[in-house]
Structure 1
Amino acid sequence: MSDFAFATDETTRAQITNWLNALMSMRRLSKPTLEAYQRDITQFMAFLTSHFGQPVTLEMLQNLHTRDIRSFMAMRRQKGIGPRSLARQISALKNFFTFLERQNLINNQVLHLIKAPKKTASLPKALTINEAKNTIAMTNDLEARPWVAARDMAVLSLCYGAGLRISEALAICAQDLNEGALRVKGKGNKIRMVPLIAPVRQAINTYLESCPFKPAGHEPIFRGVRGGVLSPRLIQQRMVQLRSALGLPPSASPHALRHSFATHLLGNGGDLRTIQELLGHASLSSTQIYTRMDSEHLLNAFQKAHPRA
């Protein structure tokens, strides 16, 4: 039974399920995004149940006031949620209310009267070129089993050399590999083609030649020591070892290698549209944050080097 079941009546519960199903079928949201939406609505329903002392009904949602929404936001802030996460949660609730309005079940604009929390733009944490290269190379020194070392080096090479998310890298199948390009299934099951530079292709080939398991063409190529699909947790644990060995900051993660890919491309003259396509960003605004990061890097270098800075 869903987590929101005990906080809502049967009718409201059914509409939440319908809403989540609609998001999955029509907007093709990824599984993690859908799970985040479900957490958002569950937390809101649990708050309302406590706030009013009874399970949530559609009539209750129809009669909500701005003070109720502000009380919910205050509760979330007290629990330590940041402005960006709270803004996303309010956006999810607006989406749910819009869904109910389109079904002619409620007509309450209360959420649209609430000013969304101001988001603090956070810049991605990128490694230097040498740090990124050393991170991949050091893997071989930390792992005694050659095929496991080759596996982890190939995964990290895909993050830095192709800009893949860790989930995208671990989902790669043999049939996705072409001589000079890689077929990647990103968020929302959107497909993109990413060039495979020679070092990345070589890292994959070295792993495939040494791997004791031979998955079918439609199965993920990266395998754990027992032959199952490789868990991202193992790559994250490898990065913890690499951070310790190389003295890297806590922000050095598989995702930081993806950020480094974009930052280094931009710093060497890559254009935003191309980087957007390579990263699989749906919106250019998601990619534009790297221009701010590059500008900050230039300013820091200027302040360190210029005699009048």
Structure 2
Amino acid sequence: MKTDSTTMKKQINNQIKEFLKYLEEIRGYSDLTIKSYDETLREAFLNHKESEAAKNIEIFQEDKNRIFNLMPYRIKIASLNSKTISKKLSAIRSFAKYLNDKGERVVVRADDSIKIAKTLPKPISHKIITEALLLAEPFERLIVTMFYALGVRISELASLETKDLSQGWIRVFGKGSKQRDMPLLPMLEEMLNDYLSLSKQKKFIFEKNGEKLSENSLRYIVIKVFKRVNIKVSPHQLRHSYATELLNNNAPIADVSELLGHSSMATTQIYTKLGSALKQKNYDKAHPLCGADK
């Protein structure tokens, strides 16, 4: 029994490694996403002491199917918030699907979805972004402007190469290595050209010691810039700001969806809901009848 358990753990460990390699090389997932998947799968399948073995996903054979019973693991993570639980379950589902696609017959049990409260993105106003940019150093200003003017993900900005630049355009590689050509504002193109003329890139636009600048470094720069105007801002909020400003100024949703690199327009529609929420808030403030019952 112990030998079988050891063999099974080795098999799962090898399959997790293969799966993570697939996510990186074939699907083009970011380092941060791969790390999250790795941590979840090892927590769920492997990283437990003997006394905690009952908290692992239960694996057994039934006819020709390999069963993943998630119930013990779900009980273990039940105290976490619903969004975290959903992400962990999604990683396990993706792993099971990968194994099935490779020819195994894996059945996942106790896999009921959980409801997550939908939250609207929180964009930063153009006024606040402008104030922060006035206080930024030239390199910081370039980083923040690229997030705001291009609406790129942090992984996309980190991966930009000098060869991706052409006059008036920049090529961005998104999730799953999907590429899209983004228009460069003249002021942003000028900032980029000035920066590149003074630096010595080997490959990536933003480098340190010959390697691309890490996502954590880019995130820290954004946080530092906005800290000067007493607000905490993430790079992803600047992406939200980009989308919201375009839609609020009547850009077609299909164009915005393409610029954001969304695979489905349904993902972009959350920003139209945000616009409706802002309109409602402004209406409540402005119309005299809104205060009649207060």
Q: TM-score, normalised by structure 1?
A: 0.78
Q: Matches of 1:53 and 1:221 in 2, distance apart?
A: 45
Q: Matches of 2:6 and 2:201 in 1, distance apart?
A: 43
1:201 — aligned with what?
Answer: 189
Residues 9 and 55, structure 1, Cα contact 8 Å, conserved in 2: no
2:157 — aligned with what?
Answer: 169
Q: Tell me the CA shift for residue 116 of structure 1.
A: 0.6
2:116 — aligned with what?
Answer: 119
1:42 — aligned with what?
Answer: 42
Residues 12 and 58, structure 1, Cα contact 8 Å, conserved in 2: no
2:76 — aligned with what?
Answer: 75
1:221 equivalent to 2:228? Answer no
Given the superposition, is the C-alpha separation of residues 179 and 87 from structure 1 closer, same or farther in structure 2, using an over 3 Å criterion?
A: same
Given the superposition, is the C-alpha separation of residues 266 and 192 from structure 1 closer, same or farther in structure 2, using an over 3 Å criterion?
A: same
Per-residue CA deviation, residues 277-297 of structure 1 (Å, 9 max, x unaligned), is 111112222211111111111
Given the superposition, is the C-alpha separation of residues 190 and 307 from structure 1 closer, same or farther in structure 2, using an over 3 Å criterion?
A: same
Give the counterpart letter for 1:201 in structure 2: E
Matching of residues 23-34 of structure 1 within 5 Å: 23-24=23-24, 27-34=27-34
Q: Matches of 2:237 and 2:120 in 1, distance apart?
A: 11
Give the counterpart letter for 2:88 in structure 1: Q
Question: Runs of 5+ in structure 2 lacking a partner?
Answer: none
Residues 7 and 45, structure 1, Cα contact 8 Å, conserved in 2: no
Matching of residues 93-112 of structure 1 within 5 Å: 93-101=92-100, 105-106=104-105, 108-111=107-110
Q: Matches of 1:253 and 1:306 in 2, distance apart?
A: 34
Residues 132 and 260, structure 1, Cα contact 8 Å, conserved in 2: no
State the aligned residue count: 282
Given the superposition, is the C-alpha separation of residues 300 and 25 from structure 1 closer, same or farther in structure 2, using an over 3 Å criterion?
A: same
Q: Secondary structure at the match of 1:108?
A: strand
Given the superposition, is the C-alpha separation of residues 99 and 162 from structure 1 closer, same or farther in structure 2, using an over 3 Å criterion?
A: closer
Q: Tell me the CA shift for residue 100 of structure 1.
A: 4.2
1:237 equivalent to 2:216? Answer no
Residues 11 and 57, structure 1, Cα contact 8 Å, conserved in 2: no
1:17 — aligned with what?
Answer: 17
Counterpart selection for 2:256 from 275, 291, 295? 275
Give the counterpart letter for 2:93 in structure 1: K
Counterpart selection for 1:130 from 127, 143, 158? 127
2:147 — aligned with what?
Answer: 159
Matching of residues 133-152 of structure 1 within 5 Å: 133-139=130-136, 149-152=137-140
Q: TM-score, normalised by structure 2?
A: 0.82
Q: Tell me the CA shift for residue 9 of structure 1.
A: 2.6
Given the superposition, is the C-alpha separation of residues 299 and 11 from structure 1 closer, same or farther in structure 2, using an over 3 Å criterion?
A: same
2:89 — aligned with what?
Answer: 90
Question: Runs of 5+ in structure 1 lacking a partner?
Answer: 140-148
Given the superposition, is the C-alpha separation of residues 17 and 74 from structure 1 closer, same or farther in structure 2, using an over 3 Å criterion?
A: same
Q: Secondary structure at the match of 1:12?
A: helix
Q: Matches of 2:28 and 2:228 in 1, distance apart?
A: 41
Counterpart selection for 2:177 from 177, 189, 193? 189
Measured on the aligned residues, the alpha-carbon RMSD in Å equals: 3.1
Q: Secondary structure at the match of 1:169?
A: helix
Q: Tell me the CA shift for residue 122 of structure 1.
A: 2.0
Given the superposition, is the C-alpha separation of residues 301 and 7 from structure 1 closer, same or farther in structure 2, using an over 3 Å criterion?
A: farther
Give the counterpart letter for 1:52 in structure 2: A
Give the counterpart letter for 1:281 in structure 2: H
2:239 — aligned with what?
Answer: 258
Structure with the largest fraction of strand: 2
Q: Matches of 1:19 and 1:263 in 2, distance apart?
A: 36
1:178 equivalent to 2:179? Answer no
Q: Matches of 2:30 and 2:206 in 1, distance apart?
A: 21
Q: Tell me the CA shift for residue 228 of structure 1.
A: 5.5
Residues 60 and 68, structure 2, Cα contact 8 Å, conserved in 1: no
Give the counterpart letter for 2:187 in structure 1: P
